[in-house]
Each structure stands twice: as structure tokens, then as C-alpha cells.
Structure 1
Amino acid sequence: MTGLFGTLGTATRGMNVNQTALQTSGHNIANTNRDGYSRQRIHMQAETPYYMAGVGAIGMGVKATSVDRIVDSFIRGQVNEAYSKFRFYEQKSDALGQLERIMNEPSKTGLINQLSVMYDSWSKLGSNPELATSKTLVVKNSETFTDTIRQMRTQMKQLKGEVIANVEKGALDFNQKIEQLATLNDQIFAIASNGTVPNDLLDTRDTLLKDISGLANNTVKFDKFGRVSSLKIGGEQGPEVLNLNEVKKISVVSGDEDPSNTISLGGDAQQKKTIAGNALPLGTIVIADTTDPDNITVSEVALTEGEIGGFKEAGKEIDERMGELDTFVQSVADRLNAVYNRDKVPGEDFFTFDKDGNLEVNEQLRKNPSGLRTGYGTDEGDGSLAKDMAKVFSEKDGDKMTFADRYNNIVTKNGISKQQADNTAESQLTLLNQLEYKNESVSGVNINEEVSDVIRFSQAFQANARIIQTVSEMLDTLINRTGV
């Protein structure tokens, strides 16, 4: 349509489109400080022209075709990957830091210093074998050593329990977010299937995917509507836990013994289930098949990144340090007992193990330190046995290590692993910040730019309103002054 009414339609469409653009800019400004928000832009397109014979195409104004998010999917994928790695090393570092504090080296109360104190007490007893106080000092210092070992083992077990609890919490959180994502898929489809782009829902989807990446590494695929059509945990070769038709929960191997046949179903510590097949290490992530409640089978999931993976890796290293500590304690007991009870008389070892595997000083010696042997004969002045006991502390084993070297090696391994986790977490955080900045430069709201757009769109709105006013005056002249 041409003429004044055509011009009126053109101006009206111009007002409507610029009003929508103003609404979009206002929405951007309102969400400036909201995490995960992507700025939006209205896409304008020329209205279909009117073709007049003898004249040609006559423009009919503008129309709004869509309101689009300004995002770079590649950068967001990189952000999620960097975030997953950062959370892995951050949680691993935190757990190993707690283990480092349990080992408490170097310090005056640490095991290395206590080994030195034990050596000194045996050495002094060898020089003064007849002194009851020297015997008491040997026994008491050895008791302090065994008490410290017992406390360390208890704290390590508690730390391992805390790590498993954190893995369970992470699994529960992961499952909840996957269910939220499945619900969000339905909401996205309901809007997108009508030809409308659900921008704010897509922002929520991206935020959820980042949170999920922080828990466990994954790979994601989208369909044409923007739904997550496939999410695999543990990488491209991992199992699929979400598609358009199904949601699978991850579970955690838990229990009082390691390995275990018990899982926390769905990460819920209150839902303990017994599984069929071989026992698995504590903290292992699995997907359980509960089709037959009496014969639950599981498939293991390998996680190499994310918070859950970090705790799982830390738990593995805690187990290794505990095993090394047990080997160290056994070596101390065996080598000292071999000298103290060279005749292998039952019940006369210097060190014994209780029913829980804890190292203890012989109960008879604890009750009566004066019964401690100092020599190989009956001569009370013979301190040769005590001197030989002192020598054991400086002798090297098959790996050319003393007791102190052996324990220091355990501490050093943990320290190196902790430092590596710290350094990697720091570098990943730097990379993550750079990627976040890059993502923000693309998708973040620029107030100055939005205010400029507000002015630009408001002026266009006013100009179109002025056209309508002019057309109204022309129609008034045409109708009222010409008598048409």
C-alpha cells in the first residue's frame, strides 16, 4: 500500500521495532551484573517492498526478525574446560594440604624429630644401662612415637572419609544439575518449537553446563532447538548420562572397607546398596543398573577433571601415603625387634601390633620399664644391646635409606604432589580468568554502548512518531479542508 496510509504503516512499524529495541537495551542494562547473562541484540530487516507499476519497489519500512544472544560458543567451551581443570587441581591441592598438615613436617613434634629423640634415648641408655630413668625414657619416648603414628593413621582415615563424603556430595550435586538440565530442555523446546529463541533459558543452560563442568569433565552436543541432546561424563569415550529421552545418575562406591561392594546410590549417603561383582576402591564413580534390585550391577566411570575427579585423585594419593606409612612402621618394628629379640622369644619383642594393626610398645615394658633389656648377658652394666638398638636408626635398608630417610621420602612425595597441584591450579586460574575476560568482552553488557543505543533508538522512535504526526496533519488537510 502506498500513499498516506502506506506512510502511516511504515512509521508505525518503525515505532514498534524501535520500541522493541529499546526494551531489549533496557533488558540488557537491567541484567548488567547478573552472572551468566549474555547481552542481546534485536535483528532488524527491511519490510517486503511494494512494487508499483512504472515506478518499481517502494520501501515499506522495517521489521524485527529476532532477538539474538551475542555469544561465542567456542570461547564458552574453552571456559568450561579450563574451569573443570581448575576445580580438579584446586580440590586435589586442598586435600593434599590437609594431609601435609597431618604429617606435620618439619616440626618438633613430627616423626623425624621423634626418631631422633628415640635414637638419643637408646644411645644414652647404652652409656648408662644401670639407670632406671634411662630405661623409662626409652619406653616413654617410644610410646610417644607409637601414639603419634596411631594419631596420624586415625587422622588419615578421617581425611579419606571426608574425601569420600565430598565425592558423594559432588555426585549428588551433579545428578541434581543433570535433572535440572533435562527439565530445561523441555522448557527450551516448548519455546523454540514455536520459532522463538529462548535467550534467557539458553543463558541458564550455559550456566548449568559450566557448573557441571566444574564437577566433572564432560562432552556436550546440542540439537537445532538449543537443547542438550547428549552429555557424556568423563570425556568423549565416557558413558552418556543425558539425552533427549533419558537421564542416568552417577553413584559412588562407599562403605567401611576398601575396596567395597557398597555404593551410595545417586550420591545419596542415605541410600546404601550392595552391588554384584568385584569390590571397587572407595570413591570410584559408577553408573548403577538397578533393573534387578537384588542384583545391582555397575559400570565404572573414569574422571580426569572436575571437583569430583580432584577429590577422587586425592583419595588415591592418601591411600598411597597410608600404605607407605604402614610399610614404614612395619619396617621400624621389624628391624628394632630383630635386634632387641634376636633369639625370637615369644612375647619379648620391643614393639607389638594390637588387634587394629596399631604399633605399640610391649605391654610388659609399658607397665615395668625397668624390665627393658640393655645387654646380651646378665651383667647390669652391659649396654651393648642398647647401643646396637641405637645403631639401627642410622643403618640403611635395602633401598639405602635410614628410618628418617624413609619417612622423609613419604613426606616429600606428598609435598611434590601438593606443589604440582598448586602450580597447575594457579596456571589454570590464570587461563580461566583470561578466557572469562574474553567471554565477557563478547557477551558482557557495556553500559556506555547500551546508553548510546537507548539514545539512538529513542530518537528513531521520536522521528517515526513525527512522521505519524505529519501524516495526521496531511490527512486532516485532505479530509477537512478539501471536503473529500
Structure 2
Amino acid sequence: MSIFSIGLSGLRAAQAGLYATSNNISNVNTDGYNRELVNLSENRMQGVEVDGITRQFNQFVATRLNAASGSYESLETYYSQVRQIDNVLSDERSGLNAVMEKFFGALSQFAGNPADPSAREGVLGTASTLTAQFRSFDNYLRDIETNVNSQVKFEVDAINTMTGQVASLNEEILMARAVSGVAPNSLLNQRDQIVHELSQKMDVRVYEQKSGSYTLSLSNGSPLVAGDRVYQLETVTDPADPSRVSIMYNDVAGNPVALKDSVFSRGAVAGLLEFRAQSLDKIRDQLGQMVVAFASAFNEQHMAGTDLNQQPGQAMFSLGQTVTNTNLQNAGTATATTTITDPQALLATGYDVKQTATGLEVTRLDNGKQVAATFDAGTNTLSFNGLEVAFDAGTLVDGDRFRVNPLREQAANFDLLLTEGSELAAAQSNASGDNRNALALSQLQGDLIVEGNATVSQAYGAMISSLGNQINVVQANMAAQQGLTEQLEGLQQSESGVNLDEEAANLIRYQQYYQANAKVIETGSTLLDTILSLR
């Protein structure tokens, strides 16, 4: 090889170095960019060989970072949602405890002077405020649930868009490799950045094929992307509960398959689903439980008295209806209705009732545990935890399910039934000045009427305390996960990130390298001219 060829090979190597360095500098602030390095080797004859420009990318670090950032996103999403409830519950102006105290305070004044019209009106006024506050809080929780449904749909749409982009990039990368024989770094960076963003939406597993194509799958192994093929997710009305959405997966045959919440263990979707199941549903059930326990006990005691018109007391508060949904995928024709038989035995949860080969099984929705239940074949009713589920004459087929939510609609329909102060039953007889029933009503404040072991105020306090504990745990986990994510980001940047000081030094180095090789060529030209002049 001549001195000219050696110099030219050096010029090409220097140009490649300048190109890579310039590209690194220009992309210093580009998300997902990985620093490029020029690979040089000695030519078999003489000179230098440019083996290619590779990117500094560590798949192991990237996978760990994706998992950590997905976990952090899940916690952050959960925290942002649960704070909405905590802000209302802990607000003295909008909290329920304050209006409960005012109501029982008015009852005490009424018991002290049952014939006083202003005392009677005070009870009705505070009772009206009490029921309105419960309904307002329930509406607020309903709005949050609607918002969660919308956010789940939005996230699923974003996931489908991203998986489609990964599939398209898979195809482009394979075509680029086939044409040039080298890895298209810019396309690889784009694909890895999309995978990183996708990991913040959901728990996704990444497998790199020998061809360089990515295969993405759910945590249960179901493929999302295989080469250029995409298997999309879909949000549909939950077959078990029409008030919410569930996520379906379209499998290889195009059949929709319902996905369990546990499939989404990381990412924004996981945070939304966990918040809905662990916090929102629980708060709504606890709210309904308090309404049923309070209204039932109060109505029972009020109807035991006599009002100012010498008439038996009436029910003072209205209660909502229980909700029993027949699963839309049931093969049988049976439907069911639920009745509350013992308000004090109610637990703050819903239930899943399933027909099996051995009979009906009842499972709590809050913890997944089975509940002991008694079935009466004569009346076709199932009894458990203060509830009675009655089935009609339709057929029950193994696998048929029913979702029982006895408490979800209670607060929404909690209202004052009395309109006149004279309808308040203060007495237990027709004697003038009898206030025994009014005293009994005011003493309900201290009675253990919620699950037979707590007052309404205690139950409300326990609800706030439980929510506060959840927030504290989430905050602690967020801090730990944020620290881990930042460490992994630092590790990735130390290997794949662009350091401007280092690149500036490389720029000078490759410039000098270029000039030196140009000098080699110039020297060769001078030698050639000298040799030719000797002739």
C-alpha cells in the first residue's frame, strides 16, 4: 500500500471521528440519544480501517431503568389520585365529621327542650346539611371514578400508539440492516426511547431477536409486538360492573381476552387500577356502610317514638338501593337482587358470587377471600354478612357470576324524609314534655352501630386514618423508587450520555488527526515530485 493510501485511510478515519463527535455534540439534549463511538482497526495491508460507528448502549441498564421508572410512575399516579380524596376528607369545612357533630349537637338541644319549635327546626336543618354533605362527597367520588375511567382509556390509546411505532421501527431497522449491513443508530435510539416511555405506562417485557427486532410482551407472556405485527389492547365496559372500564387483549386469533389488574404491575395504568381497587372502591364502600348503619339505627329508634301530633314516628332518612349486576358473559338466564337484612353486620366491601359445580361461592372484592354463605333452596336465596341475595327462576350455569355492591349507591340516595318539625318523635308516650326518645336518638352518637364495634365517628376516623396510612406508605415508596431511578439514570448517562468537555477534546483530537494525515499525503506528494524531477 502506498503512502497516499495510508494517508487516505487516516483521513477517512478522522472524518468518521469528526462526524461522530459532531453528531454527539448536536444531540447532547436529545431524549433517548446514545453517544456514538468510532471503531478503528489496523488494515491488513497498511493504514487504518473504519469498522463502523456504534452507540454506547447497555441493554441491562436500560431494562433496569425502565422497570424502576415504571414503578415510580405507578406510585406517582396512585399518589396524585389518592391525594384528591385526602384533601376533601381532611378539610374541616368539607369533612363529614364536622356536620355529624353539629347534627348531634342539635339533637341534644332538642332533647333538652322537645317542645321548642326552633330546636326542632335546628334538627331538621342540620339533618338536611348532613345528608347533603354525604351526597356531595359521594358525587365527588363518582367524578373521580369517571376521571379514572377516562385516564385508563387515554393510557391504553397511548400504549397502542407506542406499540405500533415499535413495530414500524422494527421493520425499518431490518430493512436498513439489509441495505447497508450496519445498525441504523438513530432508529435504534428512537425504538429504545419509545420502549422507555412505554414502560412508564405499563409493565412490558422486551426481548431482542437475533435479527435485531424487538418482541414486546405483557407480564403474563402475551405478545404486544412481534416483528412488524401488533396485538392491541382495548378498553370496554366491564362485563361485571357497567360503571367502570376494563382492559381487554386481542390475542393471536383476534379474540378479546379480559386482563386481570395484576398484569399491570408497573406504570401509570397500574397506578390507576390500584387506586381504583384499593382506595376509591374502599372509600365508597365505607361511606355507604356509615350511611346504612346510621340511617337504619336512627330510623328504627325514631319510629319507636311519638311525634308532636301524637302519631308514631316515621322513618327520618332514606336509604339507597343495593346494586347486583349480572355478568354480561353469563351463559345462564338467572338474575339476582340483594337485600340488606342486618345493617350492623355489613362489611365495607362488595362481593363476587359465582356458580360452581359444588354450588354458589362468595368472594370478597377487597381482599379476595371466600365468605361463608348459606343457600336456602326453598326460597332460592343466598345469605351472608347481613345480606340476602335472591335468584329468580332463571337457569344458573357453572361459571355464571354476579357482582354484589350493596353499599355503592347508599350515600347517593341519602336524604331527609321529614319536612315538618312537628314530625320529630321526641316522646315515647303522649305525655307532655316526654323527651325519652329524643334522648335515645342523641345517644346513638356513642352507640357501636358500624359492624357492631364502632360508632359512626369512629368509623369515619378509621377511614381517614387508613387513607392517611396509605398515603404515607406511597410517599415512602416513592422516595425510595425515585432514588433508585436517579441512580440508574446516572449510571446510564455515565455510559451512554454525551459529555461536552469530552467531546470538545475529541473534536480537537480528530482535527489534529485529520491534519496529520493530510500532512502524510502532502509529504508523499513532495516525495513523488522529487523522484520525478530526478529524471
2:318 counterpart SS class: strand
CA distance in 2, matches of 1:314, 1:166: 12
The answer for the alignment partner of 2:26 in structure 1 is 30
CA distance in 2, matches of 1:66, 1:29: 19
Q: What whole-Å deviation, never above 9, does each CA across 1:130-160 have from its counterpart, x for those lacking one? A: 1000001011101101001111111101100
The answer for the alignment partner of 2:79 in structure 1 is 93
- The one of the two structures with greater contact order (alpha-carbon pairs below 8 A, sep at least 6) is 1
Q: What whole-Å deviation, never above 9, does each CA across 1:298-349 have from its counterpart, x for those lacking one? A: 3324211100110111111211211121111000001111111138999811
Comparing 156-165 with 68-77, greater Cα deviation is found at: 68-77
Q: Does 1:350 align with 2:316?
A: yes
- The answer to whether the Cα contact below 8 Å between 1:283 and 1:315 also exists between their aligned partners in 2 is no
Q: 1:191 to 1:393 in 2, by over 3 A?
A: same
**Residue number among 171, 185, 196 corresponding to 1:199 in the alignment:** 185
Q: 1:335 to 1:442 in 2, by over 3 A?
A: same
- The answer to whether the Cα contact below 8 Å between 1:218 and 1:231 also exists between their aligned partners in 2 is yes
2:229 counterpart SS class: coil
CA distance in 2, matches of 1:64, 1:172: 44
The answer for the alignment partner of 2:131 in structure 1 is 146
- The answer to whether the Cα contact below 8 Å between 1:351 and 1:359 also exists between their aligned partners in 2 is no
Q: RMSD of the alignment, in Å?
A: 2.2
- The answer to whether the Cα contact below 8 Å between 2:313 and 2:424 also exists between their aligned partners in 1 is no
Q: 1:109 to 1:190 in 2, by over 3 A?
A: closer
The answer for the alignment partner of 1:244 in structure 2 is 227
Q: Which amino acid aligns with 2:317?
A: F
Structure 2: gaps (5+ residues):
322-408
Q: 1:242 to 1:476 in 2, by over 3 A?
A: same
Post-superposition offset of 1:113: 1.5
- The answer to whether the Cα contact below 8 Å between 1:202 and 1:226 also exists between their aligned partners in 2 is no
Post-superposition offset of 1:284: 2.6
Q: 1:144 to 1:181 in 2, by over 3 A?
A: same
CA distance in 2, matches of 1:245, 1:27: 29
Q: 1:346 to 1:8 in 2, by over 3 A?
A: farther
CA distance in 2, matches of 1:346, 1:457: 100
CA distance in 1, matches of 2:250, 2:527: 77
CA distance in 1, matches of 2:117, 2:107: 13
Q: Does 1:223 align with 2:209?
A: yes
The answer for the alignment partner of 2:461 in structure 1 is 408
Q: Sequence identity, in percent?
A: 23
- The answer to whether the Cα contact below 8 Å between 1:283 and 1:312 also exists between their aligned partners in 2 is no
Q: Does 1:336 align with 2:298?
A: yes
Q: 1:33 to 1:94 in 2, by over 3 A?
A: same
- The answer to whether the Cα contact below 8 Å between 1:252 and 1:283 also exists between their aligned partners in 2 is yes
The answer for the alignment partner of 1:82 in structure 2 is 68
Q: Which amino acid aligns with 2:9?
A: R
- The answer to whether the Cα contact below 8 Å between 1:129 and 1:380 also exists between their aligned partners in 2 is no
Q: 1:67 to 1:156 in 2, by over 3 A?
A: same
Q: 1:19 to 1:288 in 2, by over 3 A?
A: closer
The answer for the alignment partner of 1:390 in structure 2 is 442
Post-superposition offset of 1:105: 2.3
Post-superposition offset of 1:290: 11
Q: Which amino acid aligns with 1:96?
A: V
2:28 counterpart SS class: coil
The answer for the alignment partner of 1:13 in structure 2 is 9
Q: 1:47 to 1:334 in 2, by over 3 A?
A: same
CA distance in 1, matches of 2:146, 2:312: 37
Q: 1:120 to 1:424 in 2, by over 3 A?
A: same
- The answer to whether the Cα contact below 8 Å between 2:304 and 2:437 also exists between their aligned partners in 1 is no
Post-superposition offset of 1:413: 1.8
CA distance in 2, matches of 1:410, 1:128: 34
- Give matches, 1:287-306, under 5 Å: 287-288=249-250, 297-301=256-260, 302-306=263-267
Post-superposition offset of 1:173: 0.2
Q: Which amino acid aligns with 1:403?
A: V
Comparing 469-478 with 170-179, greater Cα deviation is found at: 469-478
- Give matches, 1:46-195, under 5 Å: 46-49=42-45, 60-102=46-88, 104-105=89-90, 107-193=92-178, 194-195=180-181
- The answer to whether the Cα contact below 8 Å between 1:149 and 1:359 also exists between their aligned partners in 2 is no
Comparing 136-145 with 417-426, greater Cα deviation is found at: 417-426
The answer for the alignment partner of 1:453 in structure 2 is 506
Post-superposition offset of 1:21: 0.7
Comparing 441-450 with 414-423, greater Cα deviation is found at: 414-423
Q: Does 1:39 align with 2:35?
A: yes
CA distance in 1, matches of 2:318, 2:77: 37
Q: 1:325 to 1:133 in 2, by over 3 A?
A: same
Comparing 348-357 with 443-452, greater Cα deviation is found at: 348-357
- The answer to whether the Cα contact below 8 Å between 1:337 and 1:351 also exists between their aligned partners in 2 is yes
Q: 1:133 to 1:359 in 2, by over 3 A?
A: farther
Post-superposition offset of 1:108: 4.2
Q: Which amino acid aligns with 1:26?
A: S
Comparing 139-148 with 349-358, greater Cα deviation is found at: 349-358
- The answer to whether the Cα contact below 8 Å between 1:40 and 1:69 also exists between their aligned partners in 2 is yes
Aligned length: 438
TM-score by length of 1: 0.86
The answer for the alignment partner of 2:529 in structure 1 is 476
2:439 counterpart SS class: helix
CA distance in 1, matches of 2:73, 2:233: 19
Larger radius of gyration: 1
- The answer to whether the Cα contact below 8 Å between 1:125 and 1:134 also exists between their aligned partners in 2 is yes
Post-superposition offset of 1:418: 2.0
Q: Does 1:432 align with 2:391?
A: no
